[in-house]
Amino acid sequence: MQRAIALVDCNNFYVSCERLFQPALEGKPVVILSNNDGCVVSRSQEVKKLGITMAAPWFKLKELARQHGIIALSSNYTLYADLSNRVMRVLAQFSPEQEIYSIDECFLDVTGINELTRYAQAMRQRVKQHVGIPVCVGIASSKTLAKLANHVAKKRSSGVCNFNALAEDELNHLLSRIEVGEVWGVGRRTHSRLQAMGITTALALKCAPGERIRAEFGITLARTVAELGGTACLSLDEHTTLRAQIICSRSFAIPVTQLADLEEAVISYTSRAAEKLRRQQSMACCVQVAIRTNPNQLKAPQYQPGLTLALAEPSDDTRALCHATLSGLRQIYRTGYAYQKAGIILSGIIACDNRPHSLFDDTEAQQKSATLMSTLDLINRRMGSGTIHLLGEGITKSWAMKRGNVSPRYTTELSDIALAHAAPNK
DNA sequence: TCTGGGGTCCTAGGACCC
DNA sequence: TCTGGGGTCCTAGGACCC
């Protein structure tokens, strides 16, 4: 039986989330900005038509935005994450095998289902009805082809495209009209190298000699070529495994020069990462800390050090992890630089159940730590993130990022719901 | 003046071992 | 002066994704 993989992708996800709660934004050009209102991370259809690209720096677009009356909102990840969960729960009803690939898309194994096109229409309708977010569905025999089918679906009013229902020459005709850079796994670098070889369309890549691709580009692109030919090389990953690394990094609202401010930031990021670590019931063996100056500030002196440290024993205790990241920070910090960003990475991640035991384990201290951490997590979940935190995180956080125009957390914060109702409907 | 954040996979090269 | 071959493990860096 032919394998059938569906890729369901939300349309302009962050913009659609905002429109759900501010219907007045419907039909207007809207962009959502990254942290610090730095660049564009989601665009409405009207904005895409103006030629504004993904990740374009906002400050360069302000004049164009004024001319066209573009509405810019700061990103509100709490809201987007909550709506994403709802979309994914609805889609899970359509297949027992679901891979949540990103905040706004998932793969579903729909092998063996009859009338796939009608089935895909049912997905769209149910998500629209239950959550209010518009989605498009692409179906094909491999994940890479399903991504391309979705690309085609986005341009159709039906919002659905099923490659499995097409004859070979019909499919090839569609692929011949898609630029090779649109193929999943072909980034900027590979795109220009392929073009230099005369491979400019998805069809040309599908027909490229596998061995030459393998030799010149490596195994990853060779798999992509096989997938374009309908041979599934990538399986659905149902995320039962632990994350291999947990990253927390942010740019500052203003350049930071003092060690004390960097210390506050690093403690705060380590605390967020430690929460994630405990949420997946795991411990880390290594921490990495990195800071950097602004690489776009070409004239300023540049410095971007990083340091990885092994912990004496695996830990999920915020205090132990902060102790390590702070010690790393103090080793790499130098005066005389204007730092723009700091980040930490937890790695060497193992499940708590697999923690190695040693003769010298202090069981009592370990239990105390576990109790303290789970109490901390419980309070922060109930009372709001950051209710209890280490004092070293700082109170004022002068370095914290700026978000000029953020919407209320309509679905997750009681006080914001009240605010939403009190606000006059302009 | 102002350019995000969080992740994965692959590869090359060094250290080390027998 | 001459200085093997093969294996493993780790890390850094590159490329990609959304």
Say which CATH number the domain at A68 has.
3.30.70.270
A379 shares its domain with A274: yes
pLDDT at A100: 94
**Residue A184 Cβ under 7 A from any strand C atom:** yes
Token pair listed for A291: 């800071």
- Give A426's pLDDT tier (boundaries 50, 70, 90): very low
Half-sphere exposure of A109 (CA within 13 A, CB side): 15
A278 shares its domain with A200: no
Q: How far apart are CA A377 and CA A275, in angstroms?
A: 7
pLDDT at A414: 67
Task: Look at residue A412 and tell me if it is in a domain.
Answer: no
Write the pLDDT tens digit of every residue in A339-379: 999 999 999 898 888 777 777 778 889 889 999 998 888 88
pLDDT at A415: 66
Task: Look at residue A416 and tell me if it is in a domain.
Answer: no
Task: Look at residue A4 and tell me if it is in a domain.
Answer: no
Give the strand pairing for A339-351 and A282-293.
antiparallel
A20 shares its domain with A117: yes
A45 shares its domain with A182: no
CA of A219, C1' of C3: distance in angstroms: 36
CA-nearest of A98, A144, A81, A85 to A240 is: A98
Which residues from 108-147 of A have any strand C atom under 7 Å from their CB?
147
What is the mean pLDDT of the segment spanning A170-176? 98
Does the pTM surpass 0.85? The reply is yes
A224 shares its domain with A251: no
A130 shares its domain with A78: yes
**Residue A42 Cβ under 7 A from any strand B atom:** no
**Residue A55 Cβ under 7 A from any strand B atom:** yes
pLDDT at A390: 78
A371 shares its domain with A260: yes
A224 shares its domain with A250: no
**Residue A152 Cβ under 7 A from any strand B atom:** no
The CATH number assigned to the domain holding A180 equals 1.10.150.20
φ, ψ of residue A422 in degrees (nearest 5):
-70, -30
A84 shares its domain with A25: yes
CA of A160, C1' of C3: distance in angstroms: 67
**Residue A34 Cβ under 7 A from any strand B atom:** yes
Write the pLDDT tens digit of every residue in A217-240: 999 999 999 999 999 999 998 766
Least confident of A27-31, A43-47, A257-261, A380-384: A380-384
Nearest-nucleotide field for A251 (CA, C1'): B4
Q: Please count the structural domains in chain A.
A: 3
CA-nearest of A236, A240, A262 to A249 is: A262
- Residue range(s) defining the domain that contains residue A193: 168-228
Task: Look at residue A234 and tell me if it is in a domain.
Answer: no
Task: Look at residue A240 and tell me if it is in a domain.
Answer: no
**Residue A18 Cβ under 7 A from any strand C atom:** no
A309 shares its domain with A180: no
Write the pLDDT tens digit of every residue in A289-331: 999 998 888 888 888 888 888 888 889 999 999 999 999 999 8
Task: Look at residue A235 and tell me if it is in a domain.
Answer: no
- Give A401's pLDDT tier (boundaries 50, 70, 90): low
Task: Look at residue A162 and tell me if it is in a domain.
Answer: no
3-class DSSP assignment, residue A152: helix
- Give A175's pLDDT tier (boundaries 50, 70, 90): very high
A46 shares its domain with A129: yes
Task: Look at residue A398 and tell me if it is in a domain.
Answer: no
CA of A348, C1' of B16: distance in angstroms: 21
pLDDT at A406: 80
A216 shares its domain with A276: no
**Residue A274 Cβ under 7 A from any strand B atom:** no
pLDDT at A182: 97
pLDDT at A240: 66
pLDDT at A423: 43
pLDDT at A157: 96
A417 vs A234, which has greater pLDDT?
A234
| Residue A120 CB coordination number (10 Å) | 28
Least confident of A44-48, A201-205, A410-414: A410-414
pLDDT at A238: 72
Placement of tokens 């605390």 in the chain: A271
CA-nearest of A1, A11, A2 to A137 is: A11
pLDDT at A103: 95
The CATH number assigned to the domain holding A273 equals 3.30.1490.100
**Residue A201 Cβ under 7 A from any strand B atom:** no
Q: How far apart are CA A178 and CA A203, in angstroms?
A: 8
Sheet holding A160-162, edge to edge: A98-102, A105-109, A5-10, A135-140, A160-162
In A159-245, the DSSP E strands lie at: 160-162
